[in-house]
C-alpha cells in the first residue's frame, strides 16, 4: 500500500512540475506561481461541489477559475517579465505565491475543504490479494501515463557566463534501450543584434514550428497545435565539447553546427 501511495503521489507531483518545465523550456519564463493557479482552481471546485453536491460540475468550474486567474496574471504581471532577467521572474512569481496563499486564507480560511470522491472513482481494487487500493489513485496514475511525453531523468546545468550561456545535460534514465549515452556540453553567446527570421532561410525552418509531437504507446505520432509569435533571434557562436543527444535517438549528425540564440518571448498557446 505504501509503495503504491508513493508512486501515485510521485506521478501527481510530476504532473504539477511538468507545467513549470514546459513553461520554462518553451517560453523562457520561470513561473513558480503556476501551482497557485492549481490551488485556486481546486478551492473553486471544492466550493462548487459543496454548493451543488456535484463533482462533475465542480471539475469544469475548477478549470474555468484556474484559467481565468492565469489569463489575468499573464496580462497584468507575467507579460511584463518576458524581457527581464530570470531573477526578476523568480521574485515576482514567488510574491504571487504569497499573495494567493494570503487570499485563500482571507477568503476561505485555513481549514482544509473536503470533497467526496464521485461514485465512479470511489471503489477499491485488489492489486495484491487482500490489499484493497483506491480506484481514484489508479486514475491519477493513468492520467500521467496517458501524457506520452518522452521525459527522462537527467542532470542539467545552465550557467550564465556574461552575455553567454554554459549548458550541460547528461541523461541518467536508461529507459528506451539507448546504447549511446545522451549528453550535451557546450557554451554559446550572441554575436549579432536581435532580428526576425526570413521565410526560406534555415533559421526560419528551425524556429517556426507550430506543432508539438509525441509518440504514443502504439508507436504512432500524436500532434497538438502550438501558436506563438515569431521567435526573436540572434546569431551566435558556440563551442560544443560533447554532443550525443541526436545519436542516442538514432539520428547521428555531422558537420559544424549553425548556432542561433532566441531572446525571451511570450504569447505561446498550445491547443
50-91 residue pLDDT tens: 888 888 888 899 999 999 998 999 889 888 887 788 888 889
Angle at 81 between CA 77 and CA 87, to 5 degrees: 115
| CA–CA distance, 221 with 75 (Å, rounded to integer) | 34
38-51: pLDDT as tens digits:
889 989 988 898 88
- Regarding whether 128 and 184 lie in a shared domain, the answer is no
- Regarding whether 250 and 141 lie in a shared domain, the answer is no
Grid cell digits, residue 20:
513549470
Structural domain harbouring 185? 154-270
Grid cell digits, residue 11:
506521478
Among 122, 145, 168, which residue terminates a domain? 145
- Regarding whether 139 and 16 lie in a shared domain, the answer is yes
Given a cut of 80, is residue 260 above it in pLDDT? no
Higher per-residue confidence, 184 vs 12? 184
DSSP 196-219: EPPTTSHHHHHH---EEEEE-TTS
- Regarding whether 167 and 124 lie in a shared domain, the answer is no
| pLDDT at residue 269 in the model | 43
- Regarding whether 250 and 194 lie in a shared domain, the answer is yes
| CA–CA distance, 268 with 137 (Å, rounded to integer) | 32
Among 120, 145, 170, which residue terminates a domain? 145
| pLDDT at residue 68 in the model | 93
| pLDDT at residue 99 in the model | 92
- Regarding whether 77 and 56 lie in a shared domain, the answer is yes
| pLDDT at residue 270 in the model | 39
- Regarding whether 177 and 239 lie in a shared domain, the answer is yes
Reported as type and span, the H/E element at residue 52 is helix 34-52
pLDDT band for 250, please (50, 70, 90 cuts).
confident
CA 121 vs CA 14, 28, 38, 41: distances in Å: 21, 38, 21, 20
Given a cut of 50, is residue 267 above it in pLDDT? no
| pLDDT at residue 209 in the model | 75
Among 145, 173, 200, which residue terminates a domain? 145
| CA–CA distance, 40 with 46 (Å, rounded to integer) | 10
Residue with cell 549511446: 180
Radius of gyration of the chain (CA): 22
Domain count, the chain: 2
**Percentage with pLDDT > 90 across the chain:** 7
Q: What is the mean pLDDT of the chain?
A: 77
- Regarding whether 215 and 112 lie in a shared domain, the answer is no
DSSP 3-state of 257: coil
- Regarding whether 266 and 214 lie in a shared domain, the answer is yes
| pLDDT at residue 65 in the model | 92
Given a cut of 70, is residue 35 above it in pLDDT? yes
Angle at 212 between CA 76 and CA 265, to 5 degrees: 30
Q: Which of 72-86, 106-120, 251-265 has the lowest mean pLDDT?
A: 251-265
144-198: pLDDT as tens digits:
566 555 556 678 888 888 888 888 988 876 655 556 678 889 888 888 888 888 8
| pLDDT at residue 98 in the model | 92
- Regarding whether 129 and 9 lie in a shared domain, the answer is yes
Average pLDDT estimate for 23-44? 79
What torsion, rounded to 10 degrees, do the Cα atoms 189, 193, 196, 197 define? -50
Grid cell digits, residue 218:
502504439
- Regarding whether 15 and 109 lie in a shared domain, the answer is yes
- Regarding whether 135 and 49 lie in a shared domain, the answer is yes
Amino acid at each position: 500500500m505504501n509503495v503504491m501511495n508513493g508512486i501515485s503521489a510521485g506521478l501527481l507531483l510530476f504532473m504539477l512540475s511538468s507545467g513549470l518545465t514546459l513553461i520554462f523550456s518553451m517560453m523562457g519564463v520561470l513561473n513558480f506561481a503556476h501551482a497557485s493557479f492549481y490551488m485556486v482552481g481546486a478551492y473553486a471546485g471544492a466550493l462548487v461541489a459543496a454548493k451543488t453536491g456535484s463533482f462533475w460540475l465542480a471539475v469544469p468550474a475548477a478549470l474555468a477559475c484556474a484559467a481565468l486567474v492565469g489569463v489575468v496574471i499573464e496580462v497584468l504581471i507575467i507579460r511584463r517579465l518576458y524581457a527581464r532577467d530570470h531573477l526578476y521572474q523568480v521574485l515576482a512569481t514567488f510574491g504571487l505565491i504569497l499573495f494567493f496563499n494570503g487570499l485563500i486564507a482571507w477568503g476561505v480560511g485555513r481549514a482544509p475543504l473536503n470533497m467526496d470522491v464521485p461514485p465512479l472513482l470511489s471503489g477499491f481494487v485488489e492489486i495484491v490479494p487482500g490489499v484493497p487500493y483506491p480506484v481514484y489513485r489508479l486514475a491519477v496514475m493513468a492520467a500521467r501515463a496517458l501524457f506520452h511525453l518522452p521525459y527522462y531523468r537527467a542532470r542539467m546545468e545552465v550557467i550564465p557566463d556574461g552575455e553567454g550561456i554554459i549548458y550541460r545535460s547528461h541523461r541518467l534514465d536508461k529507459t528506451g534501450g539507448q546504447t549511446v549515452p545522451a549528453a550535451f556540453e557546450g557554451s554559446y553567446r550572441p554575436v549579432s543584434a536581435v532580428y526576425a527570421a526570413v521565410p526560406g532561410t534555415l533559421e526560419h525552418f528551425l524556429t517556426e514550428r507550430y506543432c508539438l509531437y509525441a509518440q504514443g504507446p502504439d508507436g504512432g505520432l500524436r500532434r497538438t497545435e502550438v501558436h506563438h509569435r515569431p521567435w526573436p533571434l540572434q546569431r551566435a557562436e558556440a563551442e560544443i565539447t560533447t554532443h550525443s543527444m541526436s545519436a542516442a535517438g538514432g539520428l547521428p549528425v555531422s558537420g559544424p553546427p549553425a548556432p542561433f540564440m532566441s531572446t525571451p518571448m511570450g504569447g505561446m498557446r498550445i491547443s
